[in-house]
Amino acid sequence: MEFSDSVKLARTDTGLEYFEVNSPLCQAKIFLQGAQITEFIPNGKSDLLWVSADEDYQEGKSVRGGIPICWPWFGVHENPEWPAHGFARKIVWRAEKVTETSEAVRISLSLPMMQVDKQYWPHESKLEVEFILSEQLEVRLTNTNLGQSPFSLTQALHTYFPTSNIKDTTVDGLQGAKYIEFGQGPFDQSELVGFARETDMVYTQAAPVQNIHTPDGTIEVGRENSTSCVLWNPWIDKSKRLSNFQDEEYLSMLCLEAANVLEDVATVEPGQSHTLTTTIRWR
């Protein structure tokens, strides 16, 4: 099935459908399951997203890499029997619209609310994600309140970034923010962040742009409607416990996630919308 000159629908050997984008500006793969983008290669540059070499693309299982959508809660729910990071990343989304111009390919998907368990999400709402693919990647996650009462949620665009050596990688632009790590804090971030151990920092009061300096170049990461973000690397011990993750792969990746967490909860009034946006590009 062709959606535009540069976009077609393809399928993995395991049966998962995805949009395959081959435009003059970029290449990309966006899975309908989880509305999860797993590849974004600007023309003439390398992939801005990382996926584990052990990923096996199974139905009902989030891909280890790319940008999983954590919704409508981030992390472990107060009810520990509920799925971590919500349920949106395991549901097959509906393709809504594909358009292509000389400036960008735009792909929109929506979460089929009929498939959502009401015990997890009893609210009348619409959830859409739009991918704007050009020389940079923009992802826009929009919650719309269709009901009569406000609702609140936490969420994240859980972006996995590549690096050839995590030990020679730093993150700039978090100075002045506060963070909680392993339930401790808040602490003040006063300098560049490097990696020498397991890292799981949840930041608030964060500036809208960070830069990831890797041996392969600098990745600029921007956020809109978000003053919180999450920085993560599993390091040695946790890597051995993760599914679809090789023991040494912590050396080649990090996550820097646009989020609405902690005091940066997203509250949506009746008839209103909230759009969490992340924009990434090579500098």
b/e per residue, 102-141, with b = 16+ CB within 10 A?
eebbbbbbbbeeeebeeeebebebebbbbbbbbebbbbbb
The answer to whether the CB of 21 falls within 8 A of the CB of 7 is yes
Looking only at the bridges linking them, the beta strands covering 160-162 and 253-260 are antiparallel
Percent of the chain with pLDDT over 70: 99
pLDDT of residue 253: 98
Q: What is the mean pLDDT of the chain?
A: 96
For the stretch 61-99, pLDDT in tens is: 999 999 999 999 998 898 988 998 999 999 999 999 999
**Residue range 211-232: mean pLDDT, rounded:** 98
Domain boundaries, the chain: 2-282
Q: Specify the length of the chain in residues.
A: 283
Strands (E), 227-270: 228-233, 253-260, 266-268
pLDDT of residue 168: 98
pLDDT at position 1 over 60: no
**Residue range 156-179: mean pLDDT, rounded:** 98
pLDDT of residue 4: 77
pLDDT of residue 267: 98
Amino acid type, 201? M
Element holding 239 (H helix, E strand): helix 235-239
Kindly report whether the peptide bond that precedes residue 234 is cis, defined as omega within 30 degrees of 0. Answer: no
Q: How far apart are CA 83 and CA 198, in angstroms?
A: 23
- Global model pTM greater than 0.95: yes
End-to-end CA distance of the chain: 35
Contacts of 207 (CB under 8 A, 6+ apart): 173, 174, 176, 177
2-282 folds as Beta-galactosidase; Chain A, domain 5 (2.70.98)
